[in-house]
Amino acid sequence: MPDRRGNWSIALVRHGATEWTATGQHTGATDIPLSDVGVKQAQCLGRHFARTFHGDLTRQYAYAFVSPKERAKQTCDVVLKLAGGKTLKVIEDRDLAEWNYGEYEGLTSAEIRKRDPAGEDWNVFIHGCPGGETAADVGKRVDRFLQRARELALSLDNPKNILAFSHGHVLRVLGARWIGLPPDHGRFLAYNTAAVSYLAFEHNNLNEPVLQEWNSVTHLVVEDCLQHEFECSF
């Protein structure tokens, strides 16, 4: 039977570019700030949300969840300032932190494939990282976040929508889990820096989760802020 309480959504925002996204280095625990390009991308995001929500994010959004990493918090701060969301309650959430790459922290995919037993077939979603996380580990984290977000949204009067500022790999797993796919299926969902996605429900039915929009970078293209990344996202 349809559950019509699905009249809310989650906007997923990946942080802007850093020096390591430009070089393709896996950035998990390392707390790197936004680069100059990343700051410009965050500003593009802020202006995009300001245009979309007429300069007042609080009309549509109740909370902003954010990873504890500086690059995500910087992006969140810029967006909320430019889009009229400074009064939103911001919740720092460790479950939105990036994948723990263990021994592969700071390495590019090419460097990893030279040392990992899987060789050229290595894929973080399939093989994980020694001393770090597997896709299943990340899946457990994003499931916890989604459960908290769901409970919060269902407890609120309007507005119910939620913002989440996080990282490329964890957002890809999050997208897969939203629609009931295994965590390793995140490998099929690309995610650019400063891109936006929307998780919602078809027919406002909680039993019909959908990816309403995924990896949107139109706001970056319009302002010439799109950065073409290396292959570290695989």
Rounded to 5°, the CA angle 66-102-68 comes to: 15
Q: Which residue has the higher pLDDT, 225 or 151?
A: 151
pLDDT-derived band at 228 (thresholds 50, 70, 90) equals low
* Residue 91, beta-bridge partner list: 65
* CA separation for the pair 127, 133 (Å, rounded): 10
* Residue 51, beta-bridge partner list: none
Q: Is residue 100 part of a domain?
A: yes
Q: Is 104 part of any known ligand binding site?
A: no
Which residues carry out catalysis? Answer: 15, 98
Q: CB–CB of 15/39 below 8 Å? A: no
pLDDT-derived band at 231 (thresholds 50, 70, 90) equals very low
pLDDT-derived band at 133 (thresholds 50, 70, 90) equals very high
Q: Is 101 part of any known ligand binding site?
A: yes
| Whole-structure pTM value | 0.94
Q: Is residue 3 part of a domain?
A: no
* Whether pLDDT at 230 is above 60: no
Q: Is residue 94 part of a domain?
A: yes
Q: What is the CATH number of the domain that holds 65?
A: 3.40.50.1240
Per DSSP, which regions of 74-204 are E strands?
89-92, 161-166, 196-201
Q: Which residue has the higher pLDDT, 27 or 232?
A: 27
Q: CB–CB of 103/131 below 8 Å? A: yes
Q: Is residue 1 part of a domain?
A: no
pLDDT-derived band at 2 (thresholds 50, 70, 90) equals confident
Q: Is 71 part of any known ligand binding site?
A: yes
Name the residue among 52, 80, 45 with its Cα closest to residue 222: 45
pLDDT digits (tens, 9 = 90+) for 107-128: 999 999 999 999 999 999 999 9
Asked whether the CA dihedral 217, 223, 224, 226 is positive or negative, the reply is negative
Q: Is 55 part of any known ligand binding site?
A: no
Please give the pLDDT value at position 159: 86
pLDDT mean across residues, the chain: 94
| Residue span of the structural domain in which 48 resides | 10-233
Q: Which residue has the higher pLDDT, 81 or 1?
A: 81
Q: How many domains does the chain have?
A: 1
Q: Is residue 5 part of a domain?
A: no
Q: Is residue 162 part of a domain?
A: yes
Q: Is residue 108 part of a domain?
A: yes
* CA separation for the pair 68, 131 (Å, rounded): 21
pLDDT digits (tens, 9 = 90+) for 70-102: 999 999 999 999 999 999 999 999 999 999 999
Q: Is 27 part of any known ligand binding site?
A: yes
Q: Is residue 84 part of a domain?
A: yes
Please give the pLDDT value at position 229: 57
